Structure 1
Amino acid sequence: MTRSPSASAAADSRALLRAIPKVDEAAAWLAAEVEVAAAAGEMQPVVPSRLLKNVVRELLDDYRRRILAGELLTPAALTRDQLLPSLKKRLTARLQPNFRPLINATGVVVHTNLGRSLLPEEATANLMAVAARYSNLEYDLQTGRRGSRYSLVEDLLTELTGAEAALVVNNNAAAVLLVLQTLAAGREVVVSRGQLVEIGGSFRIPEVMARSGARLVEVGATNRTHRRDYEQAIGEETALLLKVHTSNYRISGFTSEVAAEELVELARGYRLPVMEDLGSGSLLDFSRYGLTREPTVQEVLAAGVDVVTFSGDKLLGGPQAGLILGRRELIEQIKKNPLNRALRIDKFTLAALESVLRLYFDEEQACRQIPTLRMLTASYEEIRRRAQRLRRRLKDLPVARCELELVRVNSLVGGGALPEMPLPSCALALKPRQISLHQLEKALRAAPVPVIGRTEDDRLLLDLRTVADNEVVELAAVLQEVLVAGSNEQVA
């Protein structure tokens, strides 16, 4: 009797399912391959058997699902020679850390998605030292008694900025929340309507204020706020006046805002504190280096502002942190808030932050050794020379594979800082001929050292402002491998 097509397909599926190797058998194949790769230095010598079996089981389960879904497979696809490449590829992917370093060729210096500021060598060395040994995190070496972790950087911050006292928490959103919760919970905070900003991650000043328990009082208009607006809003329930620096956008044209000095003068008449959230925050006057002028932390404190908050991993060029500086009596209140313990920084942040702050005692040294400052202040000619080095390393790449050209572009500061400050830069523009732009971008992201660029005008731009000198050789090697391998695969 002739079998029906459905019966025949079911029989074929059962035959294919029986052809799937046992997990232990396939794991033995993979283990043997690991030994060979380890001997050649291509893979770590010891791979846990549990991980091997998990990788094998996942792949075989995928094949089982494909067979049951009626996908066209043959017994030959389930042999050792056919399965091993897929198993090795999966194992290699599983052995890679999820959190990995990469090459940032986007031209965005403070790139939030790529880790924001890089740390100087001094900071990474200090991190290694305190990570591998016990430390005086909360131990006073002079008295032999319990100490405060905040004292490890407080003196540096006060000396550098002129603040009376300082406190550091885990990010700037936490800093704003902690200050408002301490000084204004259950009371009113007056802020200009034009300063109710939102930054990345939907961090909005009104929402943070609501979480703190303070009540928002908006004054003025979006584009213009005057001293009289603040004064008319002050009442018995007013706890403080808040100024938020709009570091991630600009309003131009018919605008007006109250200067910090004027706001402080007004607040003093009512015995109210003034708080300013600087957002990005900076200890340097960037206008000296041709960038847009931003108020420095020192200037804001000198204007009489009672509490200043800003980020550690933006224009400061340090680790993620929220810095709170200002009048001693207010900072001491903030330190005693129980919420402070939930927001405190760890020993690694402290180690990195201390190292970065010490570099600021010499501005030239800071600009030379803190990567964020070095990238922001780099000249076009310096970046072009780096781009030329990269181009020379790719001189043997056939034009038939990829068109290469050095082009003038604009980099960005990033991190919500200096939004209107394009930085003249030089990029290597790639226009692949044998693979698509999407395939090139995807292949670079999948490389052992991922490379992230940006696409413009049907080209992939690799902006050399954010590529370090010691990354040029590595970047060239990745490009060579991806373009040649990718083209060969496409031709095959």
Structure 2
Amino acid sequence: MSTTDRRAKVSPSPDSDERQAQLARLPSVDSVMAMARVAPLVGEYGRSRVVDAVRQVLDAWRGEVQRGMASGEVMAVDRDCLVTAVTERLARDARSRMRAVFNLTGTVLHTNLGRALLPDAAVHAVVEAMTRPVNLEFDLEAGRRGDRDELVADLLCELTSAQAATVVNNNAAAVLLMLSALAVRKEVIVSRGELVEIGGSFRIPDIMRSAGAKLREVGTTNRTHVADYEAAIGPRTALMMKVHCSNYAVSGFTAAVSLRELAPLAQAHGLPLAVDLGSGTLIDLAQWGLPREPTVRQALAEGADLVTFSGDKLLGGPQAGVIVGSAELIARIKMHPLKRAVRVGKMTLAALESVLRLYRAPELLAEQLTTLRLLMRSSDAIRACAERVQPVLQRALGAGYVVSVQMMASQIGSGALPVQNLPSAGLIVREASGKRSGRALMALEARLRAWPRPVLGRIADQALWLDLRCLEAGDEAAFVAQCVEQSEVG
């Protein structure tokens, strides 16, 4: 091919010339910034952020023009549309990554959704701690530096009958700290049936390894006896540990050693007996008609020297890990260097103290503690809520779907009482055509997640299930309002 022919191949066409002209007509950043509609954006977001957004939108438009040069499409350059695009980008970027959602999954203590919701008293306490100086580590009576654990230690001891207490940032940290302080380079005896994975791929054996302790497994997966523990005791034994299997259950041909049986053996050999209670309720839930769960006080009364548990599960408080028990052992734990690395801040302590104070009046707890109130909601009340919400959700989703009210079963969640369900009610959404399309359901689920306040349910049995146990009065009104808004948008 000659040079002349080659030039003819790459020479600009009339359309290409037009697109080159389009590129030239794109406004400069300075000219956009000088527009009257941009001034309010500068006042709201700051000049530097607006300039960045303008550049990003112009770069995107420039790319569209260049792609049009290849595809033959023509893009109009409209400055008003450009400012609208800048405004939308700024609003999108300013939106918090952590957003309120509607938890219609049927799981009350949902780990991915933040577990326990704090009661109003705790929220107010956190705001106070966030906005004012507080005596986090200052002893007001003595006028000198204090211990932050003392803000909640007395309450924890009162509510559990423990001698002492300390608080860290979650229950895994509590177990890690306890083992690091008491069992480094020594053996910890645990039944094979209690070597649980606590979520997020964190396993009891892994935590022990990280703490520098050596796991000594005894018994079998389904059966362990006192003699198994006794045979494992040796000169390198540091402590005996029981792990409450709150996130699964084994049934059938099983045998486990109770605390009452194990405590005399530990005492006879001078070994501490520790219990990882996991969800860690402080009260007997059976008095409210809920499934029974062992309490912290009960574990200590049956012979445990130390008990670890979570703050944001059945306790109904903030994320925290609590260790209660022997004053001598707690003192050793608090002296370990790792304690500072896993300590909690003022907001956690403010929320935890406020929640613990609610337990001093158990007769008011069902009304004041959000977690307990949600767990106690009757299926009749939830069904009535579903019947009120059904028509507005139907209008929002349109004729392509059928929304119906149905009884359901909620879960407590976060590993608490995994085989126990709570009678509930909610809405089931199916395609009106009757087709069994998993792709359509996934699209619907994604559509609800994209609403201003995302709606989270679960897909099962060729339908989208929306359990309304966690949709209390205030949230119900907000949900209805959002459905009405989406109906108008649609």
- Tell me the TM-score normalized by structure 2: 0.91
Tell whether the 8 Å contact from 1:406 to 1:426 is kept in structure 2 after alignment.
Answer: yes
Structure-1 residue corresponding to 2:449: 445
Structure-2 residue corresponding to 1:23: 29
The 10-residue stretch of structure 1 (241-250 or 422-431) with the greater mean CA deviation from structure 2: 422-431
Structure-2 residue corresponding to 1:244: 243
Aligned: 1:471 with 2:475: yes
User: Residues 201-250 of structure 1, C-alpha deviation per residue, up to 9 Å, x if partnerless?
Assistant: 11111111011111111111111111111111100000000101110011
Tell whether the 8 Å contact from 2:395 to 2:487 is kept in structure 1 after alignment.
Answer: no
How far off its partner does 1:418 sit? 1.0
CA distance in 2, matches of 1:439, 1:54: 33
User: Residues 346-389 of structure 1, C-alpha deviation per residue, up to 9 Å, x if partnerless?
Assistant: 00000000010011112232222111111112111121222233
CA distance in 2, matches of 1:191, 1:28: 71
User: Residues 2-61 of structure 1, C-alpha deviation per residue, up to 9 Å, x if partnerless?
Assistant: 9437854865664443343322334455x71684xx9xxxxx962212222222222332
How far off its partner does 1:301 sit? 0.7
Q: CA RMSD in A?
A: 2.6
- Give 1:19-168 correspondences, 5 Å limit: 19-28=25-34, 32=37, 35=40, 46-68=44-66, 72=71, 74-168=73-167
CA distance in 2, matches of 1:467, 1:439: 23
How far off its partner does 1:147 sit? 1.2
CA distance in 1, matches of 2:214, 2:465: 47
Tell whether the 8 Å contact from 1:172 to 1:322 is kept in structure 2 after alignment.
Answer: yes
Structure-1 residue corresponding to 2:367: 368
CA distance in 2, matches of 1:397, 1:443: 11
Tell whether the 8 Å contact from 1:118 to 1:317 is kept in structure 2 after alignment.
Answer: yes
The 10-residue stretch of structure 1 (279-288 or 221-230) with the greater mean CA deviation from structure 2: 279-288
How far off its partner does 1:457 sit? 3.4
Structure-2 residue corresponding to 1:4: 9
Secondary structure of 2:255's counterpart equals coil
User: Residues 405-448 of structure 1, C-alpha deviation per residue, up to 9 Å, x if partnerless?
Assistant: 11111111111111111111111223466995444433332222
CA distance in 2, matches of 1:139, 1:356: 22
Structure-2 residue corresponding to 1:297: 296
How far off its partner does 1:68 sit? 4.6
Secondary structure of 1:230's counterpart equals helix
Secondary structure of 1:199's counterpart equals coil
The 10-residue stretch of structure 1 (82-91 or 334-343) with the greater mean CA deviation from structure 2: 82-91
Distance 1:326 1:61, change over 3 A: same
CA distance in 2, matches of 1:385, 1:190: 51
Structure-1 residue corresponding to 2:436: none
Tell whether the 8 Å contact from 1:76 to 1:82 is kept in structure 2 after alignment.
Answer: no
Tell whether the 8 Å contact from 2:396 to 2:483 is kept in structure 1 after alignment.
Answer: no
Gaps of 5+ in 1: 39-43, 487-492
Aligned: 1:461 with 2:461: no
- Give 1:252-291 correspondences, 5 Å limit: 252-291=251-290
Structure-2 residue corresponding to 1:220: 219
Q: Figure out how many residues of one structure are paired with residues of the other and give that number.
A: 478
Tell whether the 8 Å contact from 1:260 to 1:300 is kept in structure 2 after alignment.
Answer: yes
Tell whether the 8 Å contact from 2:65 to 2:74 is kept in structure 1 after alignment.
Answer: no
1:59 maps to a residue whose letter is V
Structure-2 residue corresponding to 1:187: 186
Tell whether the 8 Å contact from 1:432 to 1:440 is kept in structure 2 after alignment.
Answer: no
Tell whether the 8 Å contact from 1:19 to 1:75 is kept in structure 2 after alignment.
Answer: no
- Tell me the TM-score normalized by structure 1: 0.90
CA distance in 1, matches of 2:372, 2:11: 69
Secondary structure of 1:449's counterpart equals coil
Distance 1:442 1:24, change over 3 A: farther
CA distance in 2, matches of 1:439, 1:84: 31
Distance 1:238 1:55, change over 3 A: same
CA distance in 1, matches of 2:283, 2:71: 65
How far off its partner does 1:465 sit? 0.4
Tell whether the 8 Å contact from 2:396 to 2:486 is kept in structure 1 after alignment.
Answer: no
Distance 1:99 1:398, change over 3 A: closer
How far off its partner does 1:484 sit? 4.5
Tell whether the 8 Å contact from 2:160 to 2:297 is kept in structure 1 after alignment.
Answer: yes
Tell whether the 8 Å contact from 1:444 to 1:478 is kept in structure 2 after alignment.
Answer: no
CA distance in 2, matches of 1:321, 1:180: 17
Secondary structure of 1:349's counterpart equals helix
Structure-2 residue corresponding to 1:205: 204
The 10-residue stretch of structure 1 (50-59 or 180-189) with the greater mean CA deviation from structure 2: 50-59
CA distance in 2, matches of 1:236, 1:317: 41
CA distance in 1, matches of 2:39, 2:237: 68
Distance 1:483 1:438, change over 3 A: farther
- Quote the sequence identity (%): 48
CA distance in 1, matches of 2:102, 2:440: 21
